[in-house]
Amino acid sequence: MKFVDEASIKVHAGKGGNGCLSFRREKYIPKGGPDGGDGGDGGSVILVGTEGLNTLIDFRYTRNFRAENGQQGSSAECTGRGGEDLILQVPVGTTVIDEETGDVLGDITELDQRLKVAQGGYHGLGNTRYKSSTNRAPRQTSPGKEGEVRELKLELKVLADVGLLGLPNAGKSTFIRSVSAARPKVADYPFTTLVPNLGVVGMSGDKSFVVADIPGLIEGASEGAGLGVRFLKHLTRTRLLLHLVDMMPYDGSTAGENAEVIEQELAKFSPTMAQGERWLVLNKVDLLPEDEIEARCKEVVEHLNWQGPVFRMSGLASQGTRDLCAAIMDHIDELRQQELVDPELAEQAEARRAEMQAEARNRIEELAEARKQARKKAKQETIEDDDDDDDYDVEVVYAE
């Protein structure tokens, strides 16, 4: 199935039913009085987090959704039937944004979580509602209110505790295959990973954490090169980032320079994310001569002026992966415990995630606008070239 992590839709809540104008007419009951009933409420549009969905492809081709209208009231003070709510199933991890205002309406982060995105119209009142001691035969009713209409942007971000960063072929997918049951594609060419992959790493007892692997970044990714930074937004929900560095680059470059490229692209994409917690993981150390491992690793750390934790491993040989996973699990447990003791820390973490998501959204929109302008400029240049007078100069040669 094709992976789609963005979609724009338009939702229409149902209109409320009109109130009824009616009078009671029965034998032997003179002046029966008003008996017009109220209309029914219009249906609302509700998004629900659903298990088993991991893409927004269903919203790529069907973009308009309408809830049912409420029915009109009737005589004998009968209320019209309310419109059925429209339930739209979305993957867990979906962010809902109002395209007109830019406001984030909510995040669906739990299974079966419900988010009302368009309120159904209120029902109209029948003439029974307007009777009084001075107005015994009212002919006044009210119409049902229109339901809300909204244009929404849906953004899917995977839910993971740990995110992996690195150049193509840095060993991110191999690492996930080594520590979890996930089986992302692995090959000896760049950009093997085209969509985010998730792996659940099981530790002792019932402890576990989720790792997210995104397509590799290259130099210029923040300007749209390669697969760009589109998938970096999937790492805005993570608690920890692992920067994987290939210690034996296949193209002859140095590990330190490659690591610096990723750090620079990350800072351009989201300064908040670049300031977050990140561990340096030096991968493929088994390919280095034993007497050079220490010096080569130290060289990368000094090149980056790295101050955080540093790990060495080989994903393919499963060398050092167990110690790395144990450290990650201890760190995540510690963060969770701190947030339970001090709820303010959880609020700060949520505010930081919201800021990262806003920066990611703005950057992606800037790149989209830049590509749009570039296409427009190229099209205009093509038109001007076609109108060049030189194109119409034809040399006629007469044969004798």
Q: Could you tell me which residues come within 8 angstroms of residue 178 by beta carbon, excluding any fewer than 6 positions away?
A: 315, 316, 318, 321
DSSP-assigned letters across all residues of 147-184: PPEEEEEEEE----SEEEE-STTSSHHHHHHHHSS---
Task: Pick the most confident of 83-87, 221-225, 355-359.
Answer: 83-87
Range from 74-83, 190-199, 283-292, 372-381 carrying the lowest mean pLDDT: 190-199
Is residue 322 helix, strand or coil? helix
Residue 224 forms part of a structural domain: yes
d(CA 115, CA 106): 7
73 in the same domain as 176: no
Which pLDDT belongs to residue 83? 93
What range defines the domain where residue 304 resides?
Answer: 162-363
203 in the same domain as 132: no
The tally of domains found in the chain comes to 2
Tokens read off for 61: 């081709």
190 in the same domain as 226: yes
Residue 234: which CATH number? 3.40.50.300
96 in the same domain as 37: yes
Residue 69 forms part of a structural domain: yes
pLDDT digits (tens, 9 = 90+) for 309-335: 999 999 888 888 999 999 999 999 998
Would you say 123 and 16 are in contact if contact means Cβ atoms under 8 Å apart?
yes
pLDDT digits (tens, 9 = 90+) for 339-377: 888 888 888 888 888 888 888 888 888 887 888 888 888
Residue 369 forms part of a structural domain: no
Residue 220 forms part of a structural domain: yes
